[in-house]
Amino acid sequence: MHPLERVINSPEPLLLIGNSRENRFPGYSYNAYTRIGKKFYCLDMGGLPEARGRSKGGKVYHSTAELPGDLGDLAVVWVHPRTAAAAVDLANEAGCKRVWFSFGTGHPQAVARARELGMEIVEIGRCPVLYLDDKRPECKAHTLLTKASGLYGRPPQVDPAAKRREQL
């Protein structure tokens, strides 16, 4: 089993951080986690009142103070690079100890901020949905492509200066 499969398929709830003001609301992830019953909490930095897309109407939090007490220690960050450090600060404020920077998010300053706060970097670049046991057909197709390319099996990327390899 790939280490990222173990991380994302853990029964522990995760924190999903997006920013609708940047058009970076993690709708596919929100829907994928909802569909398979993965426990998660979505915090939107942009003030979106509820989930949109396939999970329209789903619960969205706007501050760490609103988050339930059973939050796990993993934050999945899906924002633009320029606001990734602020998302890391929110994850830390929520009590998260690990960060997964989804594709296009792992800015070197955000990664440095996470490390400064003592947070573990789980991955920089790959989409967490790729590693879910169950997913939508289009995500299954993308997973097959990443497996065929060899990207899927590579070890977790934790160096923000490494050559980008998030998408095919």
For the chain, which residues make up each domain, given as ranges?
A: 3-149
pLDDT in tens, 7-63: 999 999 999 999 999 988 888 899 999 999 999 999 999 999 888 888 888 999 999
Q: pTM value?
A: 0.94
Q: What is the mean pLDDT of residues 131-141?
A: 89
Cβ proximity of 3 and 156 under 8 Å = yes
What residues have CB less than 8 Å from 8, skipping those under 6 apart? 14, 100, 128, 131, 132
Question: Is 158 in contact with 112 (CB distance < 8 Å)?
Answer: no
Q: What is the CATH number of domain 3-149?
A: 3.40.50.720
**166 pLDDT band (50/70/90 cuts)?**
low
Question: Cβ contacts of residue 92 below 8 Å, gap of 6+?
Answer: 114, 117, 119
